[in-house]
Structure 1
Amino acid sequence: MKSFRHYTVILFVLGSLVFFSPFDGYSASDSPVRIGSKKFTESVILGEMIAHVIEDSGAQTVHRRELGGTRVLWGALLKGEIDIYPEYTGTISREIFAGKGVESEEEIRTALAEEGIQMIGPLGFNNTYVIGMMPEVAERLGIQKISEFRKYPDLKFGFGNEFMDRGDGWPSLKARYALPQRDVRGIDHDLGYRGLESGDIDAMDLYATDAEIQYYGLKTIEDDLNHFPEYNAFILYREDLSIRNPQLVSALARLKGLISGADMIKMNARAKLDKIPESRVASDFLSDRLSLKTVREEETAVERFWRHTTEHLFLVSVSLFAAIFVSIPLGIIAAKQQKFGQVVLGFVGIIQTIPSLALLVFMIPLLGIGSPPAIAALFFYSLLPIVRNTFTGLHDIPLHILESSEALGLSAGARLRIVELPMASRTVLAGIKTSAVINVGTATLGALIGAGGYGQPILTGIRLDDVGLILQGALPAAGLALLVQGGFEIIERILVPRGLRLKKAAS
């Protein structure tokens, strides 16, 4: 049998090839305009509309859809990871510049300019927050105004996760109205409508242009203390974009005042309720209002599946290879140096306790959005199983075998290479296999920060309440996990010494 070191060299070469291979598909000379959008349907539609207008002017675009919430998009814009994205005045004043007294459009423009950001608009509609209830519940309790919630402290509220922490969200709403409710939970905005319909929650935050308000026949509760500001839609872009592509600003100016609230509700309904792709919804609207003829080829199901598969494999492969190279030496050190080993095991154990979504977010300030932070988070999650199994495999080698190898006059390095690592190889591979399977599942969260993979259809399916889309991501992820499991069974037959495998079979 070849030594264990030879195989780690092979893994290093393969991992390097994956890591350094081009993945984005764009060269520097292409310079596509990078558009971002948030994780809700309206933002995706506006992002597609921006892409159509820019492409009509002759420039290339790449739309990074559903990039989580405001902070992710704003941070990406400041760092130059995206060039442009749609935003709302209320969000800018109450979230991005919270506490800085930025309220009017002029003040917003000035504050943005100081950050190197410009804006185009308004686009023509106000998508403010409203609080919604099922009409029969509101009628039964006689609730017409938000202030009347004070009479019913036992009401169950379910607010979007971002709303729970925003400067204009639940904390300030609670303080403004002196609301006594304690059963307040953070939920995905798109799942909140189901909660209202089923009676699991009594009230939730809505966007004024949500198509679901009419679909579910929801009652919107009057904001009688005028807590929520106006959320007029604008387009934010980096100043250097107008230098690189000056024609884009004038092209995008065509969208000013073009979209009414009724228009936006209709487009949201087409995308979310009628299941029409956002790109086509945006294209149809621009064709009708601006006679803009844009042709964007939509991916086939096979093309989309292949893209998600390659993205997912990229995330899993790079993070796993990196973890192998770091974890096996750490496991060896932990086994050889008992005191330091406990520190190593404790450190990787603590990392494993950090929620995966939180770890992804922690990586964004350091690595931005896209694949790098997702790979880093997956790398950290892969450490514990491999380190612990390497430690255990070496620690559990029978003492008489270690003594025999030492009696043969083998050096410490030779004993490790020829005796100890081969003896521990089955346990080490079990740790690698565990990490790989965990990575396949956890990598789906990478879609929240623009890393793609099987998480993208899952995320879109949740947003559009489309079980078919969710399964397009969930089933391949489960299938890939099974393939990984089977693949490592084959690798075990190749790498583990035959005697150890026979011993396993005999037991």
Structure 2
Amino acid sequence: MRLNFIIILLCIIQPAFAQKVIKVGAKHFNEGYILSEMMALLLEDDGFVVERKFNLGGTSVCFEALKNGEIDMYPEYSGTISAEILKENTTLTLHEIRQLLASKYHLEISEPLGFNNTYALLVKPEIAQQYQLKNISDLRKYPNLKGGFSYEFLKRQDGWAKLAAFYHLKQNPVGLEHGLAYKAIKNNQIDFTDAYSTDGEIIQEKLMLLTDDLRFFPSYHAVAFYAPQTEKAVKQSVEKLCGIINETEMQALNAQVLFEKKSFKEIARHFLIKKNLLKHAHNKSNNTWQEIVEHSFVHLQLTFFSLLLAILVAIPLGIFLYRFQSLLKPTLYLIGIMQTIPSIALLALMIPFLGIGLVPAIVALIIYAILPILRNTIVGLYSVDPQLKKVATAIGLNDYKRLVLIELPLAIPMIITGIRTAAVINVGTATLAAFIGAGGLGEFIVTGLALNNTNLILQGAIPSAILAIFLELCFELIERLLVSEHLRQKIIR
């Protein structure tokens, strides 16, 4: 009896002593991954339990996650905080940034990590020589030069729109993934692009940075950005990084990821050991196959739960609309409109309400899965032969019994087809959940895009395709079990 009491008491008090998990975020680009990995390794070296929330879509996604306590920290830049988060039109000092963050959001930043990763425009040396380009203002003379910029730079407060107005530039650039822009400029598909001054490709590809001769861009000092609940001991652990990384070192670290094909963790660990910042230098090697299996399991969870919940919503709704036909068209129009919202936009819109992770990802996937299941449920019920309905009524079946015994069984093949379609859609759409920290196979694809690494992209794309085929086979088996042979043949014809 006493032993049972002790066990129960331990179960009650254990959560109070459980170590808090520190969630470290990272924006979707190489440098963000490396810096976040350094923070995570320093925390783990000091005994903290760390959860990595990498591949977050961009500044707005990371900031909302930080503000809402979904992550505890991530690396950010002073110029970005000033222009994008605080929406200031003038360049702020670090002291002013700290004051405004504290008063508006109760957030904090560390001292600078040591380097200034400012925005820049770059061109190939041949283009610079051909058009005599040295400064950004020189672009005024050549409005026909093709520009290609990262999507974030095109929309930022300190991005292309204000830069073009400031320098009176007339070019009309296209949007590109940041990592792919370097490939495009190398292949002469574009003439100039935006860059971070510490990008590893600059030296490797021998590209030329145009001088910001009118000083449009502010300083972008790298800092650690903390959530309100972050403890002092956690900050002290991370702030070992302050002042130890210069621009040349950061550029070299970025180049190692791109051209030596090293992992972010390997590069971060080696740098910290070199700077004598790690007490424990052991390195756990990553098993690629184990990672693929783990990510596939998360991907399957996302797909399964969202599909199950969509079925529980769409089929009863389809039956209801079949019975109350006046609501049919308005409901289908509304759900159809929701279906047209781009996946990444829908995920981003949910962050202020649902945060990041599995919940907003599953909600978004439910929205995309509802329409095909709902439409097929309604079409299946309407496709039942009217003569059969009359016969059912004539033999005394009421509406409920007619629905359960006649209409739904005959509509099942069409309903299952809708569920199969929704399942395949969800397997593909779930890859975008990586942008809000939900994990899954999309993490490989997103990271591979940032690195322009085809092998990494395939690590996510191939299992995702296999998963879609697996689900197709599962539904084929379900159809064989639930649908009589003559109805299956009718569907095939």
Structure 2 gap segments, 5+ residues each = 1-14
| Residue matched to 2:273 | 287
| Residue matched to 2:23 | 34
Aligned-partner SS, 1:65: strand
Alignment partners' CA distance in 2, 1:56 and 1:130: 36
Alignment partners' CA distance in 1, 2:22 and 2:47: 11
Q: Per-residue deviation at 1:333? A: 2.1
Alignment partners' CA distance in 1, 2:464 and 2:87: 40
| Residue matched to 2:426 | 439
Alignment partners' CA distance in 2, 1:291 and 1:487: 51
| Residue matched to 1:260 | 246
Alignment partners' CA distance in 1, 2:142 and 2:157: 24
Aligned-partner SS, 2:27: coil
Deviations 1:420-464 (CA, angstroms, capped at 9, x unpaired):
000000000000000001111111111111111111111111111
| Residue matched to 2:437 | 450
Kept in 2: contact 1:30–1:60 (CA 8 A): yes
Alignment partners' CA distance in 2, 1:70 and 1:481: 32
Equivalent residue in structure 2 for 1:211, among 191, 200, 205 = 200
Deviations 1:352-385 (CA, angstroms, capped at 9, x unpaired):
2222221111221221111111111111001111
Equivalent residue in structure 1 for 2:398, among 386, 408, 411 = 411
Deviations 1:213-237 (CA, angstroms, capped at 9, x unpaired):
0111111101111000111111111
Deviations 1:399-432 (CA, angstroms, capped at 9, x unpaired):
1100111111112111111110000000000000
Q: Report whether the alignment pairs 1:162 with 2:152.
A: yes
Question: Counterparts in 2 of 1:82-481, with a 5 A limit?
Answer: 82-99=71-88, 101=90, 103-114=92-103, 115-182=105-172, 184-242=173-231, 246-292=232-278, 293-481=280-468
Structure 2 vs 1, CA of residues 27 and 356 (structure 1 numbering), >3 Å: closer, same or farther?
Answer: farther
Structure 2 vs 1, CA of residues 420 and 39 (structure 1 numbering), >3 Å: closer, same or farther?
Answer: same
Which stretch of structure 1 is more off in the superposition, 162-171 or 91-100? Answer: 91-100
Alignment partners' CA distance in 1, 2:233 and 2:472: 52
Give the residue type in structure 2 aligned to 1:82. Answer: I
Aligned-partner SS, 2:190: coil
Structure 2 vs 1, CA of residues 154 and 494 (structure 1 numbering), >3 Å: closer, same or farther?
Answer: same
Alignment partners' CA distance in 2, 1:239 and 1:386: 43
Deviations 1:80-109 (CA, angstroms, capped at 9, x unpaired):
000011111111111111136560111011
Kept in 2: contact 1:121–1:255 (CA 8 A): no
Structure 2 vs 1, CA of residues 291 and 353 (structure 1 numbering), >3 Å: closer, same or farther?
Answer: closer
Give the residue type in structure 1 aligned to 2:57. Answer: G
Deviations 1:192-213 (CA, angstroms, capped at 9, x unpaired):
0011011111110010000100
Alignment partners' CA distance in 1, 2:87 and 2:485: 65
Aligned-partner SS, 1:122: coil
Equivalent residue in structure 2 for 1:52, among 30, 41, 47 = 41
Give the residue type in structure 1 aligned to 2:464. Answer: A
Aligned-partner SS, 1:364: helix
Give the residue type in structure 2 aligned to 1:281. Answer: I
Q: Per-residue deviation at 1:249? A: 2.2
Alignment partners' CA distance in 1, 2:346 and 2:219: 34
Which stretch of structure 1 is more off in the superposition, 108-117 or 196-205? Answer: 108-117
Q: Percent identity?
A: 42
Structure 2 vs 1, CA of residues 372 and 102 (structure 1 numbering), >3 Å: closer, same or farther?
Answer: farther
Give the residue type in structure 1 aligned to 2:128. Answer: A
Q: Per-residue deviation at 1:238? A: 2.2
Alignment partners' CA distance in 2, 1:239 and 1:340: 47
Kept in 2: contact 1:41–1:463 (CA 8 A): yes
Alignment partners' CA distance in 2, 1:488 and 1:428: 11
Alignment partners' CA distance in 2, 1:194 and 1:331: 48
Deviations 1:106-127 (CA, angstroms, capped at 9, x unpaired):
1011112221212212111010
Q: Per-residue deviation at 1:334? A: 2.3
| Residue matched to 1:3 | none
Alignment partners' CA distance in 2, 1:263 and 1:135: 23
Aligned-partner SS, 2:273: helix
Give the residue type in structure 2 aligned to 1:66. Answer: N
Q: Per-residue deviation at 1:499? A: 4.3
Q: Per-residue deviation at 1:30? A: 3.7
Give the residue type in structure 1 aligned to 2:23. Answer: R
Kept in 1: contact 2:413–2:491 (CA 8 A): no
Aligned-partner SS, 1:37: strand
Structure 2 vs 1, CA of residues 389 and 237 (structure 1 numbering), >3 Å: closer, same or farther?
Answer: same
Give the residue type in structure 1 aligned to 2:261. Answer: K
| Residue matched to 2:10 | none
Kept in 2: contact 1:446–1:455 (CA 8 A): yes
| Residue matched to 2:3 | none
The alignment covers a number of residue pairs equal to 477
Structure 2 vs 1, CA of residues 228 and 27 (structure 1 numbering), >3 Å: closer, same or farther?
Answer: farther
Deviations 1:12-45 (CA, angstroms, capped at 9, x unpaired):
xxxxxxxxxxxxxx99934211000111111111
Aligned-partner SS, 1:200: coil
Kept in 1: contact 2:146–2:171 (CA 8 A): yes
Alignment partners' CA distance in 1, 2:131 and 2:89: 38
Structure 2 vs 1, CA of residues 216 and 431 (structure 1 numbering), >3 Å: closer, same or farther?
Answer: same
Aligned-partner SS, 2:282: coil
TM-score, normalised relative to structure 2: 0.94
**What root-mean-square deviation, in Å, do the aligned CA atoms of Structure 1 and Structure 2 show?**
1.6
Q: Per-residue deviation at 1:291? A: 4.7
Alignment partners' CA distance in 1, 2:114 and 2:179: 24
| Residue matched to 1:486 | 473
Which stretch of structure 1 is more off in the superposition, 94-103 or 228-237? Answer: 94-103
Structure 2 vs 1, CA of residues 175 and 269 (structure 1 numbering), >3 Å: closer, same or farther?
Answer: same
Q: Per-residue deviation at 1:303? A: 1.4
Kept in 2: contact 1:273–1:464 (CA 8 A): no
Give the residue type in structure 2 aligned to 1:154. Answer: N
Alignment partners' CA distance in 1, 2:470 and 2:269: 40
Alignment partners' CA distance in 1, 2:351 and 2:246: 35
Q: Per-residue deviation at 1:297? A: 2.3
Deviations 1:467-504 (CA, angstroms, capped at 9, x unpaired):
11111111111111111111111100111134423555
Aligned-partner SS, 1:241: coil
Aligned-partner SS, 2:193: strand
Alignment partners' CA distance in 2, 1:142 and 1:491: 67
| Residue matched to 2:5 | none
Equivalent residue in structure 2 for 1:65, among 33, 42, 54 = 54
Alignment partners' CA distance in 2, 1:501 and 1:59: 57
Structure 2 vs 1, CA of residues 98 and 503 (structure 1 numbering), >3 Å: closer, same or farther?
Answer: closer
